[in-house]
Amino acid sequence: MDSSAQAHEHNFPERAGEYVRIGLILFVLTALEVGSYEIAHRPGVPLHDFMHTGLIPVLIVLSAIKFALVALFYMHLKWDGPLLKGIFSFSLFLATFVIVALLALFIYEGKFSAMIGSLMGATGT
Amino acid sequence: MATSVLDHAGAAGIHPEKTGLWAWITTVDHKKIGILYGASAFIFFLIGGLEALVIRLQLMKPDNNLVSPEFYNQLFTMHGTTMIFLAVMPLSAMFFNFFIPLLIGARDVAFPRLNAFSYWVFLFGGLFLNASFLFNAAPNGGWFGYANLSSKQFSPGLNMDFWAIGLQILGIASLAAGVNFFVTVLNMRAPGMKLIRMPMFVWMSFITQLLVLLSFPVITVALILLMFDRLFGTHFFVPLGGGDTMLWQHLFWVFGHPEVYILILPAFGIISEILPVFSRKPLFGYTAMVFSGCFIAFLGFGVWSHHMFSTGMGPIADSVFSLATMLIAIPTGVKIFNWLGTTWGGSIQMKTPMYFALGFIAMFIMGGLSGVMHSTAPADLQQTDTYFVVAHFHYVLFGGSIFSLTGGAYYWWPKMFGHMLDEGLGKLHFWLMLIGFNLTFFPMHIVGLEGMPRRVYTYPAGLGFESLNRIETYGALILGFSFLVFIFNVIKSTRSKVHAPADPWNGATLEWSIPSPPQEFNFPSIPTVHGRDAFWEEKRAHGGKLPEPARVSGAGIHLPNPSYWPFLAALGVLLLFIALMNHASKLGPVYIFAAVSVLFFSIFNWVFEPAEG
Amino acid sequence: MDAHALHPATSTGIPNRKLAIWTFIGSECLFFASLISVYLVYKGKSLVGPYPSEIFEIPLVTVGTALLLFSSLFVVLALNGCEQGNRKKFLGWLAMTILCGLFFIGMQVYEFTHFFHEGLTMQKNLFGASFFTLTGFHGTHVTIGVIWLLSIFIEGVRGHVPPAKALNFEIAALYWHFVDVVWIVIFPVVYLMNS
């Protein structure tokens, strides 16, 4: 019993402190997200102009950091081998690709095609 | 490796095999589940084939009125849906189930009960889809159910509800099986069976599972949205409410194109097993085969919009998807040359499976070439929705998948059932199939380019379509007859009771090292693998031949317990979807509650039931 | 062999069920990616209101978000306790996790009812349809997670989750974290980028 209990302690180190630190960082990042949102929606406060135009990239960066922290530490990917890392990263890559491709097809294709169309119309006639 | 088999030779007290209906319902044995998949899928294949024959009889002459336009719509929709989801996919699943564990030297799959669950959900989904005929409401909007033809406005009946819900149920079966076989291949390999030593069929099946896992969620979402539109009155695909019908097409084909590779990659795998054995040579370019398979799967996710060139996506999208589609010809070409390289200089043995394998290569090349023609967007605009497209995808799905699966059936039949199929009848089957197939589908290229549209129930006289259509129908009848020869062959061989040896073809892989049919536990002791073509290596080490392995008792081998909870859980899934379909009735909430209760009760009992005894 | 009965040796060294839950999570990535795509493609395409910026209550959702984030912290602490055989730590933090999950569901039920009273339904416009579908399926995942964790809590109270069986809990925790990371994406994409 003693040896197996020790083995377990050996296999599963006490990481509570680390987990709590990550939790605090996640909390701060969420506060930053909401803070950025508030700044972007309140004319007159400091940084308003920056946040008003740059809110989306700021939010993407902040949430990507949160996502990575949870995946690496809480889901233990940091300590897992290449297989599990690979499964999750490949799925994430493909998921992002589908979102970006569909947005490009629905939102940007029309704009680009119209631009090309007008250029060709201008030279053609 | 096989030494332990020999050690046990002559041992008495062979493990009794349980039979009877209850044994089949509760089975968690991957081989029995494989046979269940095969039998069910073959029946669905015959149903889909009958639908095709009625279509061909209707089109045999111009202005024919054998079936009504409404029924014709149901026939072509159900033919496509059945052949893809209820025939080719589960026929591949039969081989996954029966042979992946045998080929990697395992006693079962990673999750035997989940495997049974997958099968029962598949069966219930297939029965549900076909039950629509009883209500005279079979799906009628085409196998890809384009919005907004599938909306309540244009399909007011139950037809497309049956379609959307049926596919949703089948998707659950595929995803559960996908997780199971993905884990099985990675985790259950015998010692020494490194990834890069795995038989090519295992590799291609593994890549197929990856495609299932990553593409089925997308169709699941699309079907959920369609069901919400139809059942709850949302406007996802209803232009009047702002919905965009293009979104359906994109979501469908994000799934639909990987699905094409889900149908063909297992076929590639089977061919890559048959060709080396009957050429008496290892597979040429093994590593290139593995990587070209991975490359096909990867590219398969980036080409979906080539199904949509005629929707006016715009020049940039058309160009990008054209180029990506043309790229796929490269890894596919690598595979073709490797197969030819495998036979080159081999001592070729012309047995029935080899006939089908060589037929596959020829037919698949033709289907592949017309596929490259479609990748050119301007050419595709001329070909879309004509019989040219019908010809193309039958050359890859029938000339490809079905030729390969049939070849696989002849190749592995002795192992699965313990007796040989007749060679003469097998070759007759092949020639009838090859001739019937080409008579049916080759003229479709011509009538298609001449402008005959698909999915239309008839054509007027005088357009020059008559004689070619009559030839197509004769071809289809020959094709149908060829499968009667197959059924006759099966019955004759079963009655003749000629027992198959363990290794009738001098096979290269582990399944041939154990008796035919395999015992419940597959391997008396888990083999150790020292290289590719593990069984050839083993035989070479023992002077070229090994004695016939004996049946042994298998006492002390732990096998998973039979369980009826997977069956009940699958029933719960079916009931839940039937309840959702009837949610608007007076007792709707009661039905849903009852179905959810059955599902949760079964899952809980399943989880807390001991897996092994 | 018998000594490893609980975790039979696998070719990769990763237990079957752990590999399976990761595979499932990979598959779920595409499920939520499709739902998020639908939401974004239909963003700004609603023909009639209510529109997102008129109706969202950011403070309420921020509280829900924080609860879900903290539940992820609590569940790793509980798992840590379970693996060390520290029953008090295991059950205490697990109970906290379940409570957070329940509060999150409560937040969502309140939010949905509120929107409903404001006139936003699935049938009203594309925003309603895609919003309720995306967040509703996420909420369903949270609910399934709560039921799963609850069953582990009950088993734990009965003393059936010793350190040797921590894997049963670990896979539930992985699923729970995944539900959390999906919300990490939904919160900024749906709520904060609402203009």
Q: Domain segments of chain A: what residues?
A: 1-79, 81-125
Of C16, C30, C151, which is closest to B110 when you measure between CB atoms? C16
Nearest to B328 by CA among B265, B371, B271, B273: B371
Average pLDDT over residues B177-198: 96
Phi, psi of B497 (to 5 degrees): 55, 35
Residues 6+ apart with CB under 8 A from B106: B100, B184, B188, B189, B190, B522, B526
Q: Do C30 and A98 touch (CB under 8 A)?
A: yes
Phi, psi of B176 (to 5 degrees): -60, -45
CA distance C27 to B171: 12
Residues of C in Cβ contact (< 8 Å) with B221: 31, 34-35, 38
The answer to whether the beta carbons of residues B305 and B317 sit under 8 Å apart is yes
pLDDT for residue C3 is more than 70: no
Inform me whether the C-beta atom of residue A6 falls under 8 Å from chain B C-beta atoms. no
- Please state whether the peptide bond connecting residue B414 to the residue before it is cis, i.e. omega within 30 degrees of 0: no
In the beta sheet, which residues pair with residue B499? Answer: B419
Residues 6+ apart with CB under 8 A from B599: B569, B572, B573, B575, B576
Residues 6+ apart with CB under 8 A from B308: B246, B249, B250, B253
- C-beta neighbour count of B259 within 10 angstroms: 23
Residues of A in Cβ contact (< 8 Å) with C187: 30, 33, 63
Domains of chain B are 18-545+559-608 (1.20.210.10)
Q: Do A33 and C188 touch (CB under 8 A)?
A: yes
Chains near C, with 3+ CB pairs < 8 A?
A, B
Inform me whether the C-beta atom of residue A97 falls under 8 Å from chain B C-beta atoms. yes
- Domain assignment of residue C79, yes or no: yes
Q: Do B246 and A106 touch (CB under 8 A)?
A: yes
Average pLDDT over residues B449-462: 94
- Domain assignment of residue C1, yes or no: no
Per the structure, the count of domains in chain C is 1
CA distance B331 to B326: 10
In the beta sheet, which residues pair with residue B560? Answer: B612
Nearest CA in chain C to A100: C37
> The CATH number of the domain where C70 resides is what?
1.20.120.80
Residues of C in Cβ contact (< 8 Å) with A91: 25-27, 29-30
Band the pLDDT of B314: cuts 50, 70, 90.
confident
pLDDT at C162: 87
Average pLDDT over residues B415-425: 94
Q: Do C31 and B217 touch (CB under 8 A)?
A: yes
CA distance B476 to B485: 14
User: In sequence order, what E strands does B94-229 have?
Assistant: none
Average pLDDT over residues B459-470: 94
Of B110, B233, B247, which is closest to C38 when you measure between CB atoms? B247
Residues of B in Cβ contact (< 8 Å) with C126: 235-236, 241-243
Band the pLDDT of C9: cuts 50, 70, 90.
confident
Average pLDDT over residues B164-182: 97
Inform me whether the C-beta atom of residue A61 falls under 8 Å from chain B C-beta atoms. no
Sign of CA pseudo-dihedral C79, C82, C86, C91: positive
Band the pLDDT of A122: cuts 50, 70, 90.
low
Please give the share of chain A, as a percent, with pLDDT higher than 90.
Answer: 54
- C-beta neighbour count of B4 within 10 angstroms: 15
Shortest Cα–Cα distance, C143 to chain A (Å): 20
Nearest CA in chain B to C47: B242
Inform me whether the C-beta atom of residue C160 falls under 8 Å from chain B C-beta atoms. no
Band the pLDDT of B522: cuts 50, 70, 90.
very high
pLDDT for residue A11 is more than 60: no
Residues of B in Cβ contact (< 8 Å) with A101: 302
pLDDT for residue B7 is more than 50: no
Taking the CA of residue C12 as centre, how many other CA atoms within 13 Å lie in the half-sphere pointing to its CB? Answer: 21
pLDDT at A5: 40
Tell me the per-residue pLDDT of B378-411, one tens digit each, with 9 for 90 and over.
999 999 999 999 999 999 999 999 999 999 999 9
pLDDT at B10: 38
Residues 6+ apart with CB under 8 A from B607: none
- C-beta neighbour count of B561 within 10 angstroms: 14
Residue B392, CA distances (Å) to A20, B261, B357, B480 in order: 59, 15, 19, 20
Phi, psi of B59 (to 5 degrees): -90, 5
Q: Do C38 and B254 touch (CB under 8 A)?
A: no
Interface list for C 79-138 with B (CB within 8 A) = 122-123, 125-126, 129-130, 133, 137
State the DSSP H helix or E strand holding residue B223, giving kind and residue range, or none if neither: helix B200-227
- Two tokens, residue B448: 């298609």
Q: Note the ipTM here.
A: 0.93
Chains near A, with 3+ CB pairs < 8 A?
B, C
Range of the domain at C181: 56-192
- C-beta neighbour count of C190 within 10 angstroms: 22
CA distance B82 to C165: 43
pLDDT at A68: 96
Query: Whole-number mean pLDDT of chain B?
Result: 92
Q: What angle do CA B586, B588, B590 make, to 5 degrees?
A: 105
pLDDT at B18: 65
Residue of A96, A105, A108 best to disrupt the B interface, most CBs of B under 10 A: A105
Shortest Cα–Cα distance, C77 to chain B (Å): 25
- Domain assignment of residue C125, yes or no: yes
Of C23, C38, C122, which is closest to B183 when you measure between CB atoms? C23
Residue B276, CA distances (Å) to B145, B365, B538, C19, C33 in order: 41, 19, 16, 33, 42
pLDDT higher for C194 or C102? C102
Tell me the per-residue pLDDT of C151-177, one tens digit each, with 9 for 90 and over.
999 999 998 888 888 999 999 999 999
Q: Do A109 and B214 touch (CB under 8 A)?
A: no
Chains near B, with 3+ CB pairs < 8 A?
A, C
pLDDT for residue B602 is more than 90: yes
CA distance B114 to B609: 13
Of A98, A112, A113, which is closest to B254 when you measure between CB atoms? A98
* Residue that the structure tokens 């010692």 belong to: B191
Tell me the per-residue pLDDT of C131-143, one tens digit each, with 9 for 90 and over.
999 999 999 999 9
CA distance B421 to C64: 65
pLDDT for residue B2 is more than 50: no
Band the pLDDT of B193: cuts 50, 70, 90.
very high
Residues 6+ apart with CB under 8 A from B431: none
pLDDT for residue B105 is more than 50: yes
Q: What angle do CA C152, C153, C156 make, to 5 degrees?
A: 85
pLDDT at C75: 96
Phi, psi of B419 (to 5 degrees): -145, 160
Average pLDDT over residues B31-42: 96
Sign of CA pseudo-dihedral B378, B382, B384, B390: negative
Query: Whole-number mean pLDDT of chain C?
Result: 92
